[in-house]
Structure 1
Amino acid sequence: MGRYLLRRLLQLIPVFIGTTLIIYLLVWAIPGDPFAGKCGDRGCPPAYIAEMHEKYNLDDPLIVQYFKYLGKLLTGDFGETYAGVQISTLIQNAYPTTIKLAVVALVIEGVIGLAAGILTGLRGRGFLDNLVLVSTLFLISLPVFVTGFVLQITLGSELGIIKPTVSANPSIGELIVPGFVLGSLSMAYVARLTRTAMMENRHADFVRTAVAKGLEPKRVVGVHLLRNSLIPVITFLGTDLGTLMGGAIVTEGVFNIRGIGGLVFKSILTKEGATVTGIVTLLVLVYLLMNLLVDILYAVLDPRIRYD
């Protein structure tokens, strides 16, 4: 396992460099002056533009700019905004809220999705199975922003059960409804993945052997059937957590959540290239680490999988 982890960590290095290089080129290779309109209708003075070009190394070739940026990044320096604010400070203020929202969404989609998938996978076709299939298909076909607006208007404006918008530092309770909205699409996929895997493994040889040995039904389901059926679900949940922690622009916008998604959207509108690059670079790192964690969990769930 130790050699496997070392090999995987080494493999992350070229992937990280490649993805961040592409991101950097896409952000900074856009034609036009990034400082256009920063000083009002008159335009910025030449001295200011020259200072900004020197500060962000814009006069160097793009590849040189990237490696200078990467060198600062390795020391924990994400750079500054055009207004002189540290990007790491912006991330530090916004990311805790996004993490809480992502965890709430993951718990909701995991608990409800797994419960629905396990029940329908064990019971087979019937009323409950048809109900889950129809409801999950409804969630898949419904855009997330529609779900958000409907719950916001119904539960917030009409019934007064929740606040239409969350506070600046929201609690877990305030994030339950936004978390449900954020995880609703993935919850439907988790339910369908679990249902399909359970139905396929119900007739597998290892399940028949466990039943033939006279094991209790709970042990057959919990130890043999469920563990093997969870592998595709864990793959989906692991990668989905990386995506959720990247911030949900639509959900955060509907409920006025001050997280990473809103910060990225605002930075794109204001053409803050340094902020966009820094945040997306952090999200790439999170996504890569979540994929590594998923691979490690494979060996925990399935004893046949060994990393030597």
Structure 2
Amino acid sequence: MGRYLLRRLLQLVPVFIGSTFLIYWLVWSVPGDPFAGKCGERRCPDQYVAYMTEKYHLDQNVFVQYGNYMKNLLQGDFGQTFSQRDIGDIIATAYPNTLKLALVALAIEAVIGLGAGILTGLRRNGFLDNLVLVSTLFLLALPVFVVGFVLQWLLGVQWGIVKPTVSSEMRFSELIVPGFVLGSASVAYIARVARTSIAENRRADYVRTAIAKGLPMRRVVGVHLLRNSLIPVVTLLGTDLGALMGGAIVTEGIFGINGIGREVYRAIVTKESATVVGIVVVLVVVYLLMNLLVDLLYAALDPRIRYE
């Protein structure tokens, strides 16, 4: 186990370097003047342009720029925006809000999606099975912004059950509806994957053997069937955390949440390339760590998997 963990950690290093370099190169290669609009309607003075070009190493090739960026990043310095705002402070302010929203969405996915998948997988072709299939197809067909606006208008404006926007305190009760909106598509995917996995494993030899031994159905499902059926679901849930954080732009905009998504949108609009790179680097780290956690959970769920 220890050797496997060390090997996986070493594998993450080239993946991290390759992905962050690609992101850095793509963001800073966007055509256009990076200083356009930074001095209002007038053109920026030559002294300002020369100073900022030297500060961000824009007069050097992309490999030198990336090397300087990574050297500062390893020291905890994400750099500054063109307006001299510390990017680390932006991430520290917005990241906890998006993380909290993403975790709520992930919990909703696990509870609703997995619960629906288990029930329909055990009782296929019934009323509940057909209801879940139609509901998940409906969620997959609707864009996130449609689900968000409909729930905001219906639950917040018409019925007054929840507040239309989230307050700065980010209370859990305020995040349930935005969390469902953010994870609505993933709820449908997880429900369908769990249903298929459980239905397939229910016909496996080890399940029939457990039933033939006279084990209670609750133990057969909870210990034998569910553990082996959870592997594809865990894969989806593990990789979905980074996707939820990166794809929260629409949800945060609808419910007024000051998170990573809104900061990325602002940075793209104002051409703050350094901010975009810094935020995406954090999301890359989340993706890599969650994939590592998923790999470690495999053996706990399926004893046939061995690391050594």
Residue in structure 2 matched with residue 221 of structure 1 by the alignment = 221
User: CA contact under 8 A between 1:77 and 1:88: conserved in structure 2?
Assistant: yes
Asked if the contact 1:139–1:185 (Cα under 8 Å) also holds between the matched residues in 2, the reply is yes
Q: What is the aligned partner in structure 2 of residue 133 from structure 1?
A: 133
Aligned to 1:211: 211
Q: Please give the alpha-carbon distance, in whole angstroms, between the structure 1 residues aligned to 2:247 and 2:119.
A: 31
Partner of 1:47: 47
The aligned counterpart of 1:23 is 23
Gaps of at least 5 residues in structure 1 are none
CA deviation after TM superposition for structure 1 residue 128, in Å: 0.8
The residue number in structure 1 matching 2:295 is 295
Residues 1:80 and 2:85 are matched in the alignment: no
Q: What residue in structure 2 maps to residue 195 of structure 1?
A: 195
Identical positions, percent: 70
AA partner of residue 163 (structure 2)? K
2:152 is aligned with what amino acid?
Q
Residue aligning to 1:99: 99
- Do the aligned partners of 2:245 and 2:261 also contact (CA within 8 Å) in 1? no
Under a length normalisation based on structure 1, what TM-score does the superposition of the two structures give? Answer: 0.98
Offset, 1:157: 1.2
d(CA) in 2 for partners of 1:104, 1:27: 30
Deviation at 1:41, TM superposition (A): 1.8
Name the stretch that deviates more: 182-191 or 237-246.
Answer: 237-246
Amino acid at match of 1:207: V
Mean Cα deviation higher: 154-163 or 242-251: 242-251
Give the CA RMSD over aligned residues: 0.9
The 10-residue stretch of structure 1 (210-219 or 84-93) with the greater mean CA deviation from structure 2: 210-219
The one-letter amino acid paired with 2:2 is: G
Q: Is the 1:16–1:284 Cα contact (8 Å) retained in structure 2? A: yes
Q: 1:178-217 CA deviation, whole Å, 9 max, x = no partner?
A: 0010111100111111110110011101101111222111
Is 2:234 the counterpart of 1:252?
no
Question: How far is the alpha carbon of 1:50 from its aligned partner?
Answer: 0.8
Which letter maps to 1:265?
Y
Residue aligning to 2:148: 148
Give the counterpart letter for 2:196 in structure 1.
T
CA contact (8 A) 2:4 2:307 kept: yes
Match of 1:120 in 2: 120
User: Is the contact between residue 27 and residue 273 of structure 2 (CA under 8 Å) also seen in structure 1?
Assistant: yes
* Kept in 1: contact 2:238–2:293 (CA 8 A): yes
- In 1, Cα distance between the equivalents of 2:217 and 2:64? 63
Aligned-residue offset at 1:258? 0.5
Shift, 1:263, TM fit: 0.5
2:165 corresponding residue in structure 1: 165
Secondary structure of residue in 2 paired with 1:90: helix
2:114 partner amino acid: L
Structure 2 length normalisation: TM-score? 0.98
The residue identity in structure 2 corresponding to 1:142 is L
Q: What is the aligned partner in structure 2 of residue 71 from structure 1? A: 71
2:6 corresponds in structure 1 to: 6
SS at match of 1:191: helix
* CA displacement, residues 215-245 of structure 1 (integer Å, 9 cap, x when unaligned): 1111110000000000000000000112113
Q: CA deviation at 1:287?
A: 0.4
Residues 231-282 of structure 1: per-residue CA shift (max 9 Å, x gap): 0000000001121133511111111110000110110000000000000011
Q: Which amino acid aligns with 1:277?
A: V
Give the residue type in structure 2 aligned to 1:220: V
In the TM superposition, what whole-angstrom CA distance separates every residue of 1:110-168 from its partner, at most 9, and x where no partner exists?
10111111111111211111001000100011111000000011111111111111112
2: CA distance between counterparts of 1:14 and 1:251?
Answer: 33
- Kindly provide the amino acid, as one letter, of the partner of residue 161 in structure 1: I
Letter in 2 for 1:26: L
Task: Tell me the CA shift for residue 32 of structure 1.
Answer: 2.4
Q: What is the DSSP-based 3-state SS (H/G/I as helix, E as strand, rest coil) of the residue aligned with 1:32?
A: coil
